[in-house]
Structure 1
């Protein structure tokens, strides 16, 4: 089911922004604050007012009866969440202020406990494996097919999911990345049907899929596919403030229990700047999202054609669809393979920023991603295309000088929780071959672990880490801030 025009009654409701309206009412009353935050509407911190503006700082307020409370909404936040659920075609929607990390962890923690199995692809965001460390669930990895040339993981294939389900009938859930950072989509409807036939929940990390609920001719969104829960990064393609997100639940989920799980880790001092940005952005998408994302798709497709015409780059898109490992492709994702001009993605990423004042989303060892969304303009696309042409002309090298690199499938020896809390020692990375890792190693973004706790370290993985470091990837996850040592099990 694709986006349908709302009836007049629904559209009228979607024009409301209850939290924003309550904040405006509070501001007009000129209430004297004897509560936190201590900057007292900015009066105690003039430098903060100068940086962020008087209106922004004056709306940085604490929970109070007229503004409701995110931990137990009963009035304006409750109404705002109901409007979000309606807009996203969910049974319930939670406003999340800890980023989509908190939303993903809320999904996993609400359906998994210690010893439970969860079926998932290995190319998950670190937040998923962090949740497994917290709850003690056991991952059953469906290692997706890899595109050797691009060096990226593709989608979960139906027959691989079916095989994992049959081999692990006691698993409680299947988690799917849809779409991936690079725009790859799995056959979500088929996976949902298969999981539900075996009484398993389906959780969707939809961090990069806010627009799927509002655009046309885009891959199916989680709620329309029948998924039970979905984590949606409103701040990515939806226009809200950084760190604001949604957790959506379907009809088969006890949302009251999910609320209790969220409150295990959710802050009791939720930012009304973030909450109101979710409220306003939902309204914007509900009223104007269809038109906005049609323009986004057109801009991304135009950029793709122009970049491919330069030569040497490969801006991939719907041409990758094969009906299985790439069931569909999100055309708003402008993912570009760079190694045919002899440069790693991270090198092009750095050149764009340092030489052309263009900040893109990520660069890995083989690709870059330019995130196209509702705030972009065609002149910005033209500037990016021109810069890429310039980089090819001025900085390209012979492709054969690049070492062969691709996604490396890890060997899982034990659960993330067991490995993370086990006795460990720190060794230079070059001396860890054959040992079991007890921490994370990843390039960020995208935040997909090269190594996770409980995985065996191989020569290929060590070479990959060293190469990524050499090329300038931002490495994270290790206790050693320089990523020269790794913690391994004793």
Structure 2
């Protein structure tokens, strides 16, 4: 019997120290002469009416009875210990600046200026942001691509081994577990290989909270023996937006990691976010297996029904090849749309504008409908019906559509050097051959088409033009219209 099934585990996990401290604080009816200035909502009636008195009364500042996020000694410390136990980690940090700050915390803990870190190029922008901040040098592993779906796959162990042998001074390897689309690399194999060569393994688990609690799902980072993981509790775990965990294995100095986190995370941690993490951790620790069994059942049902419609393709474990797709997260309802002649972003827009259905994202060839703890049967039936009707109403010839989501970059210099270098602004169509000094991406998913330090090619410009034409939400450049790009002077 696993520890998570024991009475002792369940008794411990039934506590929520931060939530309990806030409830006790409310009972005391303390008169506030501290911040925030709305004073439990009394100073901003419109906000109180909108968010509710219950929320505003616990939107409070750090104080002794409620502990301090930067230096926890009581209830936050206790809550961290419970979270670490629930996730099978040596330590857990409550993150209130989003998983972006957890990713930055991992990389800044593992790397200093000039250090090398091995990363897949299809990372979230937060990874490359961290490299801009700390000056570490990325060793990019260009993932294989599924040429039908046009999506980047995982890192193979052989690719990681080649990168390690060619860069023996590298300090760490970062792995997406899983990708936005549900693709999983051989995390156990990569951990074993990296540790053999003395490298730390970091996992971006922005989309992997459920891996720690569900059964028959891909391995979690801590389960695979990784050294650090950034976990978006708010995505599939039910906590409030912007609340996440940074998990550590036993080989990482927790005191140093907290110092790094405190460089970038707010000193005024929101108790709404902290308590949502505490309560959601308790819920998943006690009920996660049943919750995610239901999520898997829903996702598999919807996947089957969508594939019965025809021409849409909701892909799954049939992609597994034991290498670049080592496993697949079946909770991810990723759907290929190009066979009906529509880009994913076009289906995304139609679902929202005509059917009042908001999915997670649409890109050039796919959409992602996020199935999680809060979904109901009638909601997924509505999605299935809408997609069937969209096919009937909008299907057209797919000739001339872009087929590639991922374009291998040519890296010229490091993200930090490029971002802070002398630069000039040029019309985007005059930048071919130049080196970009900023980001360009569709958001979501937030994987850069261009990152600082990469050569701009005609294929990349064509992709950006096509994505803009199809209605993708483009972000990153200084010029919000994305008519101009900043490039390095003289390069």
Equivalent residue, structure 2, for 1:199? 198
1:5: how far off? Answer: 4.0
Equivalent residue, structure 1, for 2:23? 24
Q: Distance in 1 between matches of 2:366 and 2:210?
A: 23
Equivalent residue, structure 2, for 1:372? 371
Q: Is the 8 A contact 1:441 1:451 kept in 2?
A: yes
Q: Distance in 2 between matches of 1:311 and 1:331?
A: 20
Equivalent residue, structure 2, for 1:335? 334
- SS of 1:468's equivalent in the other structure is helix
Q: Distance in 2 between matches of 1:177 and 1:406?
A: 17
Equivalent residue, structure 1, for 2:354? 355
Counterpart mapping for 1:29-428 below 5 A: 29-428=28-427
1:217-263 CA distance string (max 9 Å, x none): 10000001000000000000000000000000001010110000000
1:4: how far off? Answer: 6.0
Counterpart mapping for 1:439-478 below 5 A: 439-478=438-477
- After the TM superposition, which segments of 4 or more aligned residues of structure 1 sit over 6 Å from their partners? none
1:87-134 CA distance string (max 9 Å, x none): 000000000000000000000001111100000100000000000000
Q: Distance in 2 between matches of 1:31 and 1:404?
A: 61
- SS of 2:222's equivalent in the other structure is coil
Q: Distance in 2 between matches of 1:316 and 1:399?
A: 19
1:26: how far off? Answer: 0.5
Q: Is the 8 A contact 1:97 1:270 kept in 2?
A: yes
Q: Distance in 1 between matches of 2:43 and 2:135?
A: 45
- SS of 2:164's equivalent in the other structure is helix
Q: Is the 8 A contact 1:121 1:143 kept in 2?
A: yes
Equivalent residue, structure 2, for 1:8? 7
Given the superposition, is the C-alpha separation of residues 404 and 221 from structure 1 closer, same or farther in structure 2, using an over 3 Å criterion?
closer
1:428-458 CA distance string (max 9 Å, x none): 1111000000000000000000000000000
Q: Distance in 1 between matches of 2:414 and 2:228?
A: 24
Q: Distance in 1 between matches of 2:217 and 2:389?
A: 32
1:46-77 CA distance string (max 9 Å, x none): 00001000010111000000000000000000
User: Which runs of 5 or more residues in structure 2 are unaligned?
Assistant: none
1:9: how far off? Answer: 1.1
1:209: how far off? Answer: 0.2
Given the superposition, is the C-alpha separation of residues 155 and 88 from structure 1 closer, same or farther in structure 2, using an over 3 Å criterion?
same
- SS of 1:488's equivalent in the other structure is strand
User: Which runs of 5 or more residues in structure 1 are unaligned?
Assistant: none
Q: Is the 8 A contact 1:3 1:215 kept in 2?
A: no
- SS of 1:129's equivalent in the other structure is helix
1:3: how far off? Answer: 7.1
Q: Is the 8 A contact 2:3 2:9 kept in 1?
A: no
- SS of 1:456's equivalent in the other structure is coil
Q: Is the 8 A contact 1:3 1:213 kept in 2?
A: no
1:375-427 CA distance string (max 9 Å, x none): 00111111000000000000111112424434100000000000000010111
- SS of 1:119's equivalent in the other structure is strand
TM-score, normalized by length of structure 2?
0.99
- SS of 1:301's equivalent in the other structure is helix
Q: Is the 8 A contact 2:365 2:403 kept in 1?
A: no
Counterpart mapping for 1:433-444 below 5 A: 433-444=432-443
Q: Is the 8 A contact 2:152 2:405 kept in 1?
A: no
- SS of 2:224's equivalent in the other structure is coil
Q: Distance in 2 between matches of 1:67 and 1:472?
A: 46
Q: Distance in 2 between matches of 1:253 and 1:76?
A: 23
Q: Distance in 2 between matches of 1:4 and 1:427?
A: 59
1:374: how far off? Answer: 0.5
1:21: how far off? Answer: 0.4
1:144-177 CA distance string (max 9 Å, x none): 1011221111000000100000000000000000
- SS of 1:83's equivalent in the other structure is helix
- SS of 2:93's equivalent in the other structure is strand
Q: Distance in 1 between matches of 2:100 and 2:57?
A: 28
1:373: how far off? Answer: 0.1
Q: Distance in 1 between matches of 2:2 and 2:189?
A: 20
Given the superposition, is the C-alpha separation of residues 4 and 156 from structure 1 closer, same or farther in structure 2, using an over 3 Å criterion?
farther
Q: Distance in 1 between matches of 2:339 and 2:458?
A: 26
Q: Distance in 2 between matches of 1:151 and 1:295?
A: 30
TM-score, normalized by length of structure 1?
0.99
